[in-house]
Structure 1
Amino acid sequence: MWIDTSIRWVCAIILWTTFLVMFLPTFANAFLRYTTDASIVWSEQAVRLVFPWFILGGAVIAAQHNRHIGVSVLTNLLGRGNLRRLQIVVQLIILGACAVVFDFAVDVVLSDDSMYTLIGIKQSWSYLALIVGYVFLALTCLTNIYRLVTDPAYSEKIKTSTVS
């Protein structure tokens, strides 16, 4: 689906960008410390700013590929029809959790005025990752539910691709 592809591309860009923002200053900082005994003072705040984006980008891509941790004992005991029903229920539970986290994160983003003083960016930009990430996870749940309802074989594909 085009929604899944778009989400994957956005998350891949987020992952590569945040990886570089974390890696380059950290590497430069280590190099400077060992060669000149100096450091880049803002690097730690930059890493703290982008780390939540990095984690949620990876989590969404893992969910897109059904490569998340799953317990397969129950799913191995169920037939195809019951397996699909269980997977739909699980997707609905995840969707509900996404709504709760989204609601909480919006309140935090709107009320947090604290700043990363050295880089001059509000800390709420880190919490914005929760909003974006959980919207992407919710959309992934909806596309999974759509596939589960319209494609009877999709539940087996999810079952075999999940890491147990």
Structure 2
Amino acid sequence: MTRVSPLPHHEEQARAMGGGALSAADIIDRAVGFICRAVILLTGLALLVLLTANVVARYVMESGGFRFAQELPERLFPWFIMAGVALAVQKGGHMAVESVLARLNRNGARIMLLVGFAIIIASYAILGWEALGVADIVSIETSPVLGLSSSYSYYALALGCLAVILTTFALAIRVAKLGPEAMPTPDPEETGI
């Protein structure tokens, strides 16, 4: 990932970090990060236990496994994925093409990033709103064994959109206050580079 310029000197950065907006961005990031990590941990463990138990049950039980073992992962997996999407936004782990951004001066890069953030926030707000609408429509559909509503997956999408909006808003605050250097740079271990 190309950066426009190095971070400001420690004194300038410490002065800038004292702002209430940056404190709010930190609080948003910590809250969203904690919730998303908890969702990933809980759903990941549930998926692992459930799928492992079903594989064992296929060989032990005459029925060939648990009947609900296909339905529950379908309801848990969207929560797992959307929590990961929000964390990837927080860490700067999504794919980006920065050829134009790298050619702009610091102020131009800041403006381009802020416009991009506004587009992302608006897009995810629309997507989240539509997901709630679809959740309402499919709420009458239930899974055959557990009787779980099909709307749970759409609620995961809507709440995941909210998490992305909050995380993007926190990034926008940092970029507005500190400049494009405030953009997160993912660790190479996290991106596979």
Flag whether TM exceeds 0.5 (same fold).
yes
- The whole-number CA distance in structure 2 between the counterparts of 1:92 and 1:55 is 23
1:128 aligns with 2:130: no
Name which of 150, 153, 175 aligns with 1:148.
Answer: 175
Percent identity reads 25
Larger radius of gyration: 2
Task: String of CA shifts for 1:92-151, please: whole Å, max 9, x gaps.
Answer: 111111111012111111222101121221110111001110011111111111111111
Cα RMSD (Å) of the superposition? Answer: 1.8
Partner of 1:73: 99
Once the two structures are TM-superposed, the CA of residue 68 in structure 1 deviates from its matched residue by 1.0
With 67-76 and 131-140 compared, the bigger mean Cα shift is at 67-76
Partner of 1:88: 114
- The whole-number CA distance in structure 1 between the counterparts of 2:173 and 2:32 is 16
Name which of 52, 61, 66 aligns with 2:87.
Answer: 61
Name which of 6, 11, 15 aligns with 2:36.
Answer: 11
Once the two structures are TM-superposed, the CA of residue 88 in structure 1 deviates from its matched residue by 0.7
Give the partner amino acid of 1:47: P
- The whole-number CA distance in structure 2 between the counterparts of 1:62 and 1:81 is 25
SS at match of 1:20: helix
- The gaps in structure 1 that reach 5 residues or longer are none
With the length of structure 1 as denominator, give the TM-score of the two structures.
0.91
Partner of 2:16: none
Q: Is the 8 A contact 1:75 1:159 kept in 2?
A: no
With 54-63 and 36-45 compared, the bigger mean Cα shift is at 36-45
Give the partner amino acid of 1:34: Y
Partner of 1:114: 141
SS at match of 1:122: coil
With the length of structure 2 as denominator, give the TM-score of the two structures.
0.78
- The whole-number CA distance in structure 1 between the counterparts of 2:184 and 2:168 is 15
Once the two structures are TM-superposed, the CA of residue 74 in structure 1 deviates from its matched residue by 1.8
Q: Is the 8 A contact 1:102 1:135 kept in 2?
A: yes
- Residue-pair matches, total: 162
- The whole-number CA distance in structure 2 between the counterparts of 1:90 and 1:3 is 19
